[in-house]
C-alpha cells in the first residue's frame, strides 16, 4: 500500500489510528501485566502485515520467513555461548536472500522494501550479538521489523530507537501532537505528489529521448532528477514520521537540508542519514574505522561507498556513482585533515591577521566562499545522480556528452510541457498567455525556480512543524495542501526508493 493512495488516506490509516487508540484504552487495564504490550504490539503487527501485503500478498512469506529465522537466531544467542556462529548464519541468510532477490534472480520477483527490512533485521541481530538486547518478545520484535510507516522505504530505525517505545507505559492521546504530525504528513504528501511527480515527468521524458535533447534540455533533465529524488524520498520520510507520530511513535530523522551542504562530507550528514549511520556502525567501525591509521581510514571510506553503490543496484552505473562520492569524500577528508594540522601550527598568525582585517569584509568574503562551495557541491551531486538514474553507463555517458557538447537552443517543447500542471495552465489560459510563443515555458521556469528556492532557503519540514500553531492561518494552509494533494492522486506513482 502507498501513502499517496485513496485507500491509505481514507480507509486504512483512519481505521488504524482509531483502532490503535481503542486498543490503547483496552491495554490500560493491563498496565501492570504482561498483556499490555502484547495487545498493542499484536495490533501493530497485524495492521503492518496488512499494509505490506495489500498490493502484493506474495511478498509476505519472504518477510515472515526472514523474521522467523532472525528471531530464532536471537533466542539461540540469548541461551548459548557460541554467539558468533549464530551471527554468521544470520548474516549469511539475510544478505544471501537480499543478493538472490536483487542481483542473482531475474528481477521479476523483488519484494518491496526488502533492503530496508533486511537492514532492520541485521541491526537487530548485530545488537543481539553485542549483548544490547535482552528479553525481547516475539510480538515486540515483529512489530519493530514490520512497523508499517517505515517498512517500505525507511528510515532505518535501530532497535534501541523503536523497541523501548513498544514496551512500558501507554502514551495518552495528545491532540496537539496529532495535529503537528498530520501537518508533517501533509507536507510530505505535497512534496511527493505535486513536486516530485511533476519533476518526474520531465525526467522520464528526458531519459527516454536522450538523442532528441540539446545541452539546455539535458541540464534541465539532470536538475529535475536531482530535485525529484530529494522531494520523493524526503517526502516519504516526512509522511512516515507523521504517520508514526500520530500513533505516538518517533522515527529518526533521515534528511536534513543535504543540498545546502558546502562539501560532500556535509552532504552525507544530511542525506539518507540512517543509511550512513547503518554503514558506519556495522561496516565502517568493524573494518577498523579510524583506529588503524589515516591510510586505512581512507580505504575504509572507499569500501563503505563501494558497498553503498552495490546495495543501490547491480549495474556498473551504481558502482561509478558510489565511487564518485567515495573518492571525493576521501579527498575532502584528506584536505580537512591537512587544514586542521596547518591551523594548529599557524593559529597565532591567523589570529593576528584577522585582527588586521575588517570584520565586515571578512564576513562578506566568507559568505561568498561558502555560497560558491555550496554551488560546486550541488553541481557535483547533480552529476553523480546521472549515473544513479540512467539505465546503464551508455545512457549516462550519452547525457554527459549532450551536456558538454554545448549545443544550446530552444528548450524542447515536449519537455517544457511536462511542467504544465492543469491547475496552473488554466490560470495561464485565463490570463491569455497560452498563445504567447514562450507561454509553454513559463510554468517550467516558475516551478524550477520555486523548488530551488525551497531547497536552498526553505526550512526542514520536521523543524517547521515543531513551531506550527493550530491557528486559523495554519489550519487553512494545511487544508489547502491536503485537498490539493488528494486531488492529484489521479497520477499516483510509486516512490523511487521503494524498490531498493
Distance in angstroms (rounded) separating the CA atoms of residues 495 and 236: 8
Let me know: does 384 contact 268? Beta carbons within 8 Å: no
Give DSSP secondary structure letters for 350-409: HHHHHHHS-HHHHHHHHHHHHHHHHHHHHHHHHHHHHHHHSSSHHHHHHHHHHHTTT---
423 half-sphere exposure, CB direction, 13 A CA radius: 7
User: What is the 3 state secondary structure string of 38-94?
Assistant: HHHHHHHHHHHHHHHHCCCHHHHHHHHHHHHHHHHHHHHHHHCCCHHHHHHHHHHHH
Q: How many residues does the chain have?
A: 500
Which member of 56, 85, 272, 312 is catalytic? 312
In 3D space, the residue among 136, 127, 131 whose CA is nearest the CA of residue 163 turns out to be 136
Burial class (CB in 10 A: 0-12, 13-18, 19+), 490: exposed
- CA 6, 8, 9, 15 torsion-angle sign: positive
In 3D space, the residue among 106, 31, 124, 149 whose CA is nearest the CA of residue 69 turns out to be 124
How far is CA 212 from each of CA 206, 410, 422, 440, rounded to the nearest angstrom?
8, 12, 25, 18
Cell for 485? 494533494
- Residue 312 a catalytic site member: yes
Alpha helices per DSSP H over 253-358: 264-270, 273-279, 294-312, 316-356
Distance in angstroms (rounded) separating the CA atoms of residues 500 and 497: 5
Let me know: does 3 contact 239? Beta carbons within 8 Å: yes
Distance in angstroms (rounded) separating the CA atoms of residues 412 and 410: 6
247 half-sphere exposure, CB direction, 13 A CA radius: 28
* Catalytic residue ranges: 312
Amino acid at each position: 500500500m502507498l501513502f499517496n493512495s485513496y485507500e491509505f488516506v481514507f480507509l486504512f490509516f483512519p481505521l488504524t489510528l482509531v483502532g490503535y487508540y481503542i486498543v490503547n484504552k483496552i491495554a490500560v487495564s493491563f498496565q501492570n501485566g504482561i498483556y499490555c504490550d502484547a495487545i498493542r504490539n499484536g495490533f501493530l503487527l497485524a495492521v503492518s502485515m496488512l499494509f505490506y501485503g495489500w498490493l502484493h500478498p506474495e511478498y509476505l512469506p519472504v518477510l515472515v520467513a526472514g523474521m522467523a529465522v532472525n528471531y530464532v537466531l536471537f533466542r539461540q544467542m540469548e541461551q548459548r555461548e557460541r554467539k558468533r556462529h549464530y551471527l554468521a548464519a544470520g548474516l549469511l541468510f539475510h544478505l544471501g536472500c537480499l543478493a538472490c532477490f536483487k542481483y542473482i534472480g531475474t528481477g521479476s520477483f523483488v519484494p518491496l522494501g526488502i533492503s530496508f527490512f533486511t537492514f532492520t533485521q541485521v541491526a537487530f541481530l548485530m545488537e543481539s550479538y553485542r549483548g544490547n538486547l535482552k528479553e525481547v518478545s516475539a510480538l515486540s520484535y515483529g512489530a519493530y521489523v514490520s512497523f508499517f510507516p517505515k517498512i517500505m522505504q525507511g528510515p532505518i530505525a535501530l532497535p534501541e530507537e523503536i523497541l523501548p517505545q513498544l514496551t512500558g507505559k501507554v502514551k495518552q492521546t495528545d491532540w496537539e501532537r496529532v495535529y503537528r504530525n498530520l501537518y508533517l504528513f501533509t507536507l510530505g504528501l505535497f512534496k511527493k505528489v505535486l513536486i516530485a511527480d511533476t519533476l518526474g515527468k520531465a525526467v522520464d521524458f528526458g531519459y527516454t529521448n536522450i538523442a532528441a535533447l540539446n545541452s539546455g534540455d539535458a541540464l534541465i533533465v539532470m536538475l529535475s532528477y536531482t530535485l525529484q529524488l530529494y522531494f520523493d524520498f524526503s517526502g516519504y520520510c516526512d509522511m512516515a514520521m507523521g504517520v508514526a507520530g500520530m500513533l505516538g511513535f518517533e522515527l529518526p530523522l533521515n534528511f536534513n537540508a543535504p543540498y545546502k551542504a558546502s562539501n560532500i562530507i556535509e552532504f552525507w550528514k544530511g542525506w539518507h542519514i540512517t543509511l550512513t549511520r547503518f554503514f558506519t556502525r556495522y561496516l565502517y567501525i568493524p573494518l577498523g574505522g579510524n583506529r588503524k591509521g589515516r591510510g586505512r581510514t581512507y580505504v575504509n571510506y572507499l569500501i563503505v561507498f563501494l558497498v553503498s553503490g552495490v546495495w543501490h543496484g547491480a549495474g556498473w552505473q551504481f558502482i561509478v556513482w558510489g565511487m564518485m562520492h567515495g573518492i571525493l569524500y576521501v579527498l575532502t577528508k584528506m584536505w580537512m585533515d591537512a587544514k586542521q594540522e596547518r591551523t594548529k601550527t599557524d593559529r597565532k598568525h591567523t589570529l593576528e591577521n584577522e585582527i588586521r582585517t575588517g570584520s565586515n569584509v571578512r564576513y562578506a568574503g566568507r559568505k561568498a566562499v561558502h555560497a560558491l562551495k555550496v554551488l560546486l557541491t550541488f553541481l557535483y551531486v547533480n552529476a553523480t545522480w546521472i549515473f544513479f538514474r540512467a539505465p546503464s553507463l551508455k545512457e549516462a555517458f550519452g547525457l554527459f556528452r549532450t551536456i558538454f557538447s554545448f549545443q544550446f537552443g530552444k528548450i524542447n517543447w515536449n519537455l517544457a510541457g511536462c511542467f504544465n500542471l492543469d491547475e496552473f495552465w488554466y490560470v495561464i489560459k485565463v490570463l491569455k498567455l497560452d498563445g504567447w510563443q514562450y507561454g509553454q515555458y513559463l510554468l517550467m521556469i516558475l516551478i524550477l525556480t520555486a523548488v530551488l528556492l525551497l531547497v536552498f532557503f526553505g526550512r526542514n519540514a520536521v523543524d517547521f512543524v515543531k513551531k506550527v500553531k493550530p491557528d486559523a492561518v495554519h489550519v487553512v494552509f494545511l487544508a489547502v495542501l491536503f485537498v490539493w494533494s488528494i486531488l492529484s492522486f489521479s497520477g499516483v506513482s510509486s516512490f523511487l526508493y521503494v524498490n531498493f
